[in-house]
Structure 1
Amino acid sequence: MDQLIFAGPVLISVILAALVFYLYRSRDGSAGKDIYLLEKGQERIERLLPEEFSRLRGEQRDSVKAMGDSLFSQVTNMASLTEKNLEGVLNQFAGFRKELESTRQSLDMKMKAMQDENSARLEKITGIVDEKLHETLQSRLGNAFKQVSDQLEQVHKGLGEMRSLAASVGSLEKTLANVKTRGVWGEVALEALLEQIMHPGQYEKNVATRPRSNERVEFAIKLPGAGDNGSIWLPVDAKFPVEDYIRLVEAQDKGDPAGADAAAKSLETKIKTFAKSIRDKYLEPPHTTDFGVMFLPTEGLYAEVLRRPGLAEGLQREFRVVVAGPVTLAALLNSLQMGFKTLAVEKRAGDVWRVVESLRVEFGKFGDLLARTRKKIEDAATSMDDVESRARVITKTLGRAQKLDEPPGEENAEAKN
């Protein structure tokens, strides 16, 4: 309806705009007539507009009244329906409230029962935990005290072992401080190596390797000679120049090049003196090998000797003496042991061959004896066949003889039967 009210002025404005446009386009003498016609049309429109507006307002009032009555009726119906729905909701809410109250009371009862049950279980669990905790604590404390006691006992034993070790170290220091004792210690180390690797018959102690000489080497290894029963000796002598070695090590620790060089030269001189002594006292080919072995009982001392340029080679070339430490001597002894085993196998090979040859001869005799035995068995089988034949003949003869001894009537009766 509002759109119709506002449509009239808009329509008039459009008509006036069209009129102005038309006047602008028409510039001849017919414009006056057109203007007159337009004025008449405008007057008519002005007469009709109030009537149209009055009619439109009446229609709008009627429409608004009808709309208001319809809206009032709908609101009244909606209010009645809402009141009914609200009453139903209130009834449902009251039912829900009763159910909720009942549920709350039931939950309260169940919660109280659960709390009582949980309290009882918690007290029981607490008692069990306290008991187990007490037992575990007592057990662990007992074990801990026992372990502490055992460890204290082990510490006490360790202290005793440390005291014993300290005493042993003191004895070792005394041993190393005494020249004679140092020589004995090197000899003991050499003997231990020989006992571990060689058999007792493969070496001897305190051997006079040179004929008509009273000089005796500490140990000599017995090597097989050219003959069946001959043997030659490999002299092995232990030397331990510990004073020069200790001075060398101390000078190296202090960073004293001059002192270290002096101690090294002194050690080299002492080693050459030992090698010359071994050559002059113990080497006598062909009763001995053309070289001897100087055993140094520590690897550190052996390493220092090898560090001196040309020292080991000079000892071998000039004095025919080989320097060996514990590891080197063990390797040398193992090599000799393998050689002894190879030689023993070669010697035993001849014995085995002789046994095989005698076995071959005996096996030939056994073949002849087996052939004779087979022939005798065949003869015995032939004799047994003859015996069986004779036994059958004898049996038949005895059968006929038995028939002759029977009365005639019995023979006829038997024939009838």
Structure 2
Amino acid sequence: MDGLEQFMQDPATMVVVLIAGAVGAMLVLFVALFLIRGRDRELRALRVDHSLERDRRSRLEVEKETLDRQVIEARNEMERVFRSNEESQEQLNEARNQATRLEAERNALDGRLGEAQRERDVRERERDALRTQLEKSQNKVTELETQVQHGEHLRQQLENAEQRLKEAFDSLSGKALEQNREQLLADLRRENSNAQETVGGLVKPVAETLERLQQAQTSLDTRISDLRQNSSDLEDQTRRLVNALRRPEQRGRWGELQLRRCVELAGMQQHVDFFEQEPVPDGGQRPDMIVHLPNNRIIVVDAKTPMDAYISAWETQDEEERSAYLQQHAEQVRRNLDQLSQRRYQDSFEESPDFVVMFLPGEVFYSAALEQHPALFEHGMESRVLIATPTILIALLRSVHMGWREAELAREAEEIGRQGQELYRRASILVDGLAGIRKGLDNSVKAYNKAVGSLNSRFIPQVQRFRDLHSISGEEVSELESLPSDLRRPRKMSLKSGQDDSGTNSG
């Protein structure tokens, strides 16, 4: 009560609250009136449709009555024609046909009339629903009118306050509403433009992406088609290869080709580093390949292709059958190992080490056998047979190839040392010869200098006196110069110590 009395004592607050309530009630009334008008328009439209439908139904009923009369007249005419029997049979048939057509038209009109009746019922139900909604809206309008009347009563009580706040209300309602409407329209236009630009900017890359996706999809379809074709071709080739590998002669030939390919990949040359189908000295069965090692040693290699059980293992879908086939494959590998051990190639070739290499042309053949018999490698070593896959064989042959290179380098180094010793021997002989020449040159220089000294001291002075006594013209005989006697001595080198004959280091 104190709050209400304080609220009633504050006229400004009370006026604002009452004005806000009145404005809200008026807005609600306006919305309700707008909805009621919309419903009235729909109801009037339904009434017009109902009136048109009623007129249409009336016309159809008139047409039906007319057709009924025509049918009756046609029947009467037909009866008259039948009774009189004075007209021809053709006229009778024509009358019957006309009666049939009229009957069909009447049936069609009955159907149309039924459809019109059903449509009218639907319209009636819609009209009833709209009438119900209109009654509800009218009730709401009545309530709103009551609220408006109450607000009007409050407005009448606050005429003085409304007069004082009229200018402020006009500014807040009319001008502000107009400004807000213009601002709202401008904002909507700007947002619409921005939205169009944004949507355009979003749609364009999406369209481009869809186009690229379509192109990629087309390319992918083409590739998938090519892959399917390639897969089909590969399946055919695989099937033919499997069928070929099931024949022992083809399988053996394939194993020999794989063996030769591995040897060539290791960098070896046929008839230089290895020989195929080399005859055995004792006339026994020939091995597939003999690889030469340094120091006149060899390695005997024999290719084996136990593939029947392995191929069957991967063709079956039953796990138990696959396990049985793999076990059979391991037994085939072990059997081939034992057969190769019994041939004892290492005894037929004196240069062979104490083992033979059994080549399996695929890693999977060896790994599948090891999974079933983990001790297969140890069994091979005990039987003096080394099981080699392409990877192991290439590594082994590359090691052999490196041994060949090291042996060649050792032979070249030995030849270089031998040639160096021969060169030193010949250089020593040359130095000794040059020393003999020097000794001869020393004796010749001494004899020459002695002759020059005798010539200069005795012969040339006598020739000068003779020239002076007989007044002989011509060039004067000059004295000869003696040769120097300090010729360089050749130094003798020692091959072991690297010193000359005087003990000085030649380096």
TM-score, L = length of structure 1: 0.50
Residue number in structure 2 paired with 1:7: none
Q: Distance in 2 between matches of 1:92 and 1:150?
A: 81
8 Å CA contact retained: 1:186, 1:297: yes
For 1:120, the equivalent position in structure 2 comes to 189
Q: What is residue 373 of structure 1 aligned with on the other side? A: none
Does 2:369 match 1:299? Answer: no
**How far apart are residue 346 of structure 1 and its match?**
3.5
Kindly state the Cα deviation for residue 134 of structure 1 after the two structures are TM-superposed: 5.2
Structure 2 equivalent of residue 269 of structure 1? 335
The alpha carbon displacement at 1:94 in A equals: 7.7
Count matched residues: 266
| CA separation of 1:194 and 1:94: change in aligned 2, threshold 3 A | farther
Q: State the 1:200 CA deviation.
A: 2.5
Structure 2: where are the runs of 5+ without partners? 1-9, 11-159, 432-507
Structure-2 separation of matches of 1:313 and 1:179? 28
Match of 1:325 among 389, 394, 415: 389
Shift of 1:96: 6.8
- SS class of match (2:291): strand
Counterpart position of 1:19: none
Further displaced range: 237-246 or 207-216 = 207-216
Counterpart residue identity of residue 264, structure 2: E
Q: 1:243 aligns with which of 308, 316, 320?
A: 308
Q: Find the aligned partners of 2:324 and 2:317 in 1 and give their Cα distance.
A: 8
Q: Which moved more, 1:91-100 or 1:103-112?
A: 91-100
Letter in 1 for 2:396: L
Instruction: Tell whether the 8 Å contact from 2:358 to 2:385 is kept in structure 1 after alignment.
Output: yes
Distance 1:135 1:256, change over 3 A: closer
2:366–2:389 Cα contact (<8 Å) kept: yes
Given the superposition, is the C-alpha separation of residues 135 and 246 from structure 1 closer, same or farther in structure 2, using an over 3 Å criterion? closer
Assess if the C-alpha contact under 8 Å between 1:252 and 1:260 holds in 2. Answer: no
Is residue 111 from structure 1 mapped to residue 175 from structure 2 by the alignment? Answer: no
Report 1:283-362 matches (<5 A). Answer: 284-303=348-367, 308=373, 312-313=377-378, 315-318=380-383, 320-350=384-414
Q: Which amino acid aligns with 1:219?
A: M
- Secondary structure at 2:288's aligned position in 1? strand
Residues 283 and 152 of structure 1: CA distance in aligned 2, closer, same or farther (over 3 Å): farther
Within 2, Cα distance between the matches of 1:151 and 1:251?
Answer: 32
Checking the alignment, whether the CA contact within 8 Å between 2:265 and 2:394 is kept in structure 1 is no
Give aligned-pair identity as a percent. 21
* Paired residue type of 1:206: E
Q: Deviations over 1:354-408 (max 9, x none)?
A: 899989x99xx9xxxxxxxxxxxxxxxxxxxxxxxxxxxxxxxxxxxxxxxxxxx
- In the aligned structure 1, how far is the partner of 2:179 from the partner of 2:324? 99
Aligned-partner Cα distance in 1 for 2:355–2:397: 15
TM-score calculated relative to the size of structure 2: 0.42
Match of 2:237 among 158, 168, 184: 168
Q: How far apart, in 1, do the equivalents of 2:231 and 2:187 lie?
A: 62
- Offset of residue 177 of structure 1: 1.0
Alignment of 1:185-204 (within 5 A): 185-200=254-269, 203-204=273-274
Q: Secondary structure at the match of 2:179?
A: helix
Structure 1 residue 312, shift from structure 2 partner = 4.9
Q: Which runs of 5 or more structure 1 residues have no equivalent in the other structure? A: 1-81, 83-90, 226-230, 366-417
User: Following the alignment from structure 1 to structure 2, what is the Cα–Cα distance between the partners of residues 156 and 243?
Assistant: 33
Rg larger in structure = 1
Report how far residue 130 of structure 1 moved: 5.3
The aligned amino acid for 2:291 is: I
Name the SS for the 2:302 alignment partner: strand
From the superposition, tell whether residues 153 and 251 of structure 1 become closer, same or farther in structure 2 (CA, over 3 Å): closer
1:217 paired residue number:
287
Q: Where do residues 147-166 of structure 1 align in structure 2 (5 Å cutoff)?
A: 147-166=216-235
Residue type matched to 2:230 in 1?
Answer: E
Judged with a 3 Å threshold, the aligned counterparts in structure 2 of structure 1 residues 92 and 220 are, in CA distance, closer, same or farther, namely farther
* Aligned-partner Cα distance in 1 for 2:309–2:162: 114
Residue 170 of structure 1: how far off its partner (Å) = 0.7
2:348 match: secondary structure: coil
CA distance in 2 between counterparts of 1:260 and 1:166 reads: 23
Segment of structure 1 superposing worse, 192-201 or 340-349 = 340-349
SS at match of 1:240: coil
Aligned equivalents of 2:229 and 2:220: distance in 1? 14
Aligned partner of residue 222 in structure 1, secondary structure: strand
CA distance in 1, matches of 2:175, 2:354: 115
Q: Which residue of 2 aligns with 1:182?
A: 251
Q: Is the 8 A contact 1:283 1:292 kept in 2?
A: no
Structure 2 contact 309–328 (Cα < 8 Å) conserved: no
- Paired with 2:196 and 2:317, the residues of 1 have a C-alpha distance of 74
Aligned twin of 1:254: 320
8 A contact 1:207–1:217 mirrored in 2: yes
Question: CA RMSD of the aligned region, Å?
Answer: 4.6
